[in-house]
Chain A
Amino acid sequence: MRPAASPFAARSAAALADARLQRALADVPGGFVAARARVKAALPEFDALRRAGRDIKDHALAHLDLYLEEFERNAIAAGSKVHWAATASDACDIVLGICRAAGARLMTKSKSMVSEEIGLNARLEAAALKVVETDLGEYVIQIRGETPSHLIAPAIHLGPADIAEDFRRRHDHLPQNRDMSSPAVLVAEARAILRPKFLAADVGITGANLLVAKTGSAIIVTNEGNADLTLTLPRVHIVLASIEKVVPTLDDAWTLLRLLARSGTGQEFTAYTTLVTGPRRPGDPDGPEECHVVLVDNGRSELLGSGLREVLRCIRCGACMNHCPVYCSVGGHAYGSIYAGPIGAVLSPALLGPHAAGELAQASTFCGRCESVCPVEIPLVGLMRRWREVSFAEGSAGWNKALLRAWAFLARRPRLYHLAARVGATLLGGLARGRGAFSRLPFAQAWTRYRDLPAPQGGTFQAQWARRQRREAP
């Protein structure tokens, strides 16, 4: 009998059986992974840059209160309004309040993970406000009613054929028999749909990749230019940023941006890198009349004071996902959280609670490839292990825990352990009856369902070694 599957295991099994998803995921090693390897090879100081990035983030986090206040002062001086949101709900209320005060009906929005985290779109729509995602991937998942499955490629779980199907269904004012055979055609269609939205929007909402304390600026990067249209055309611009995005200076920001593009997409720099420092100034040809910055905490202050602080270094590049063999097998949605992969396994239990998401930290082989590519050297394996310690302490580890306890009892008693090991190895060796492996074994079905279990050679090394020493003794 197979034990009842956990939610993660059940979603993973479905993901593994989804041929379309598997085709989409198969492109990750040849895409993002190969591109990162190329740009890394072209930059001999890449690992030194990673250490510099780590140190910048550690310094900013160690003095986060000071840099946030400095950011606030300078943002206000530049004409922005700064709002502090302790919780997800507070952040949604603040955005909703700004939209209402502006008399807004239509909002455009560029990609923002924190907006996904706080459930902003659902809140705006519940208040009868219309919000349109303008990042192509985000637009696709918005019309599908899905959440992103990757930090920087939210629709990575889909292929062009899936998107063509969605566009045909959704854009029903266009001829049904139009050609949708190439990605370029799909991009052109999305552009034609989105252009009037950009022009009609009352409020533009963006995230921020970084906040710069010294200048009060938000830095927003994209490869599509959609953030620039989102933040320059409407009358009101709202920047939504979690508090750990702040760094001291522009120089610090450049270091992190050099790491971000290389680690994420394997580019040397993103196609569009925009600094926003307040609303339109007198004499500016364009830009919004109002600029609001909403600083979102949502559990981060607590993380700052915990043993998980290092997770706040994350710059959301997605390299840990691209290089994770588990993520690349099951995709992002299996994680049941908008933060998937290794970073999600650390961050999601902190945001959703260990009972809701603690299992994600179990779903890793601890191969460590994630932390070897992390641009800010987050010790992801060690942080996942911390969540396992929480699960173990709370006894939520189930029958595994009982087995582990029995094994620990033996391992702490060397002579008893050896007796048990000898008996076990001899019995199993005998049971194999000269075969090299078991194709089925009642208590090892999780193993033998998919592969043979190599049989023991018979007897333990330590017993054989002791016999040999006795024989050779003078």
Chain B
Amino acid sequence: MTSQSQRPRVGLFVTCLVDILRPSVGFAAVRLLEAAGCDVVVPLQTCCGQPAYNSGDRDTARALALQTIAAFEGFDYVVAPSGSCAAMLKVHYPRLLAGDAEASPRARAFAERVYELVSFLVDVRKLEAVPGTFSGRVTYHDGCSGLRELGIKRQPRELLERLKGAELVEMAETETCCGFGGLFCVKYPDISNAMVSKKTANVTAVEPELLLAGELGCLLNIAGKLAREGSRVSCRHVAEVLAGETAEPPIAHAASDA
């Protein structure tokens, strides 16, 4: 067996938000996975079904689960740059398909191969050095699904410690929800606003240059609020900074003010 063939084949589950709003996160994920010795493939894919599942539409969620499992057949690993999408694939697909004698074992076998990007890099690939550099203070927001469904807390911080020039400062209540919650933020905008306002106050209090997270949904919410407040703090997906994929301006920033 050649060394080339020992490189694991990773199917990148890019997630809807990254696909449509911020492709640079996808390219950053690819660069990190390649730096961790993986071959990356991006099969034709749509959505993991989380919006349907959390809206009570199990039939659509089940159909999308089967579609996604079929699209990612044959990879050594399936990796997503999002805790909530990865948790959907890893934690909820087996539950959704538990009653289906044919699909249930497939869902369980699939789930075993699924990882969130940063935890995959640290826990599975033992990535030592990261390609990116950043000089300045950064703070990290824990996305709820990644934190509580997948136990991701230490891994991004480990990689940020290795990011040359970066100083990690922790804000208060980093484990409190930012108020995004998928459709919650547009169904209950007033409550969502109250929650994200507390979050941006905690961000601002530690005076970082950059806020990072592993979840684009949270980032859109927090970056959108910081932009509305006229804050100087900018926001990026943690993969962009770790990979050194920072040619694109930060979230909610124009190229001119990057």
Q: Do A and B come from one complex?
A: yes
Residues in A lying within 8 Å of B, measured CB to CB:
9, 12-13, 16, 29, 325-326, 329-330, 362-369, 372, 385, 387-393, 397, 400-401, 404, 407-408, 410-412, 414-415, 417-418, 421, 424-425, 434-437, 439, 444, 446-447, 449-457, 459-462, 464-465
The reply to whether B44 and A414 contact each other, CB–CB distance below 8 Å, is yes
Q: What is the chain A residue whose CB lies nearest that of B227? A: A452
Q: What is the chain A residue whose CB lies nearest that of B23? A: A461
Please indicate the chain B residues that have their CB under 8 angstroms from the CB of A392 in the complex: 55-57
Q: What is the chain B residue whose CB lies nearest that of A435? A: B254
Q: Max chain A CB contacts within 10 Å: which of B26, B49, B55, B224?
A: B55
The reply to whether A451 and B191 contact each other, CB–CB distance below 8 Å, is no
Q: What is the chain A residue whose CB lies nearest that of B199? A: A325
In Å, the complex CA distance between A454 and B18 comes to 12
In Å, the complex CA distance between A397 and B223 comes to 29
Please indicate the chain A residues that have their CB under 8 angstroms from the CB of B47 in the complex: 407, 411, 417
In Å, the complex CA distance between A13 and B193 comes to 11
The reply to whether A452 and B224 contact each other, CB–CB distance below 8 Å, is yes
The reply to whether B248 and A457 contact each other, CB–CB distance below 8 Å, is yes
Secondary structure at chain A's binding surface: helix, strand, loop or mixed?
helix
- Known A367-B144, A451-B225; contact A325-B176, beta-carbon cutoff 8 A: yes
In Å, the complex CA distance between A288 and B167 comes to 67
Q: What is the chain B residue whose CB lies nearest that of A456? A: B21
Please indicate the chain A residues that have their CB under 8 angstroms from the CB of B189 in the complex: 446-447, 449-450
The reply to whether B224 and A447 contact each other, CB–CB distance below 8 Å, is yes
Distance to closest chain B CB from A112 (angstroms): 30
The reply to whether A456 and B22 contact each other, CB–CB distance below 8 Å, is yes
Out of B20, B24, B63, B224, name the residue touching A412 (CB < 8 Å). B63
In Å, the complex CA distance between A54 and B224 comes to 41
In Å, the complex CA distance between A16 and B97 comes to 40
A-B CB proximity, top 6 nearest: A365-B181, A392-B56, A388-B56, A451-B224, A367-B177, A461-B23
13 A–B pairs (Cβ distance < 8 Å), ordered by A: A325-B177, A325-B195, A329-B194, A364-B184, A366-B182, A411-B64, A415-B44, A424-B20, A436-B253, A460-B19, A461-B42, A465-B30, A465-B42
The reply to whether B56 and A391 contact each other, CB–CB distance below 8 Å, is yes
| Chain B positions 88-142 with a Cβ under 8 Å from a chain A Cβ | none
- Known A421-B20, A452-B252; contact A329-B191, beta-carbon cutoff 8 A: yes
Please indicate the chain A residues that have their CB under 8 angstroms from the CB of B249 in the complex: 436
**B39 interface hit (Cβ, 8 Å):** no
In Å, the complex CA distance between A366 and B63 comes to 22
Taking A326-B191, A362-B187, A385-B53 as known contacts, 16 extra A-B pairs with beta carbons closer than 8 A to each other, sorted by chain A number, are: A329-B194, A366-B184, A367-B176, A368-B144, A369-B177, A388-B56, A404-B55, A414-B45, A414-B71, A436-B255, A437-B252, A451-B227, A456-B22, A459-B23, A460-B20, A465-B26
- Known A325-B177, A365-B180, A368-B144; contact A451-B196, beta-carbon cutoff 8 A: yes
In Å, the complex CA distance between A365 and B30 comes to 30
The reply to whether A369 and B175 contact each other, CB–CB distance below 8 Å, is yes
Please indicate the chain B residues that have their CB under 8 angstroms from the CB of A434 in the complex: 254-256
Distance to closest chain A CB from B34 (angstroms): 13
0 or 1 for each of B150-193: is its CB under 8 Å from A? (1 = yes):
00000000000000000000000101110111111111111111
Please indicate the chain A residues that have their CB under 8 angstroms from the CB of B181 in the complex: 364-367
Please indicate the chain B residues that have their CB under 8 angstroms from the CB of A460 in the complex: 19-20, 23
The reply to whether A404 and B51 contact each other, CB–CB distance below 8 Å, is yes
Distance to closest chain B CB from A340 (angstroms): 14
Out of B19, B144, B145, name the residue touching A462 (CB < 8 Å). B19
Please indicate the chain B residues that have their CB under 8 angstroms from the CB of A415 in the complex: 44
The reply to whether A457 and B180 contact each other, CB–CB distance below 8 Å, is no
Please indicate the chain B residues that have their CB under 8 angstroms from the CB of A390 in the complex: 56
Please indicate the chain B residues that have their CB under 8 angstroms from the CB of A439 in the complex: 228
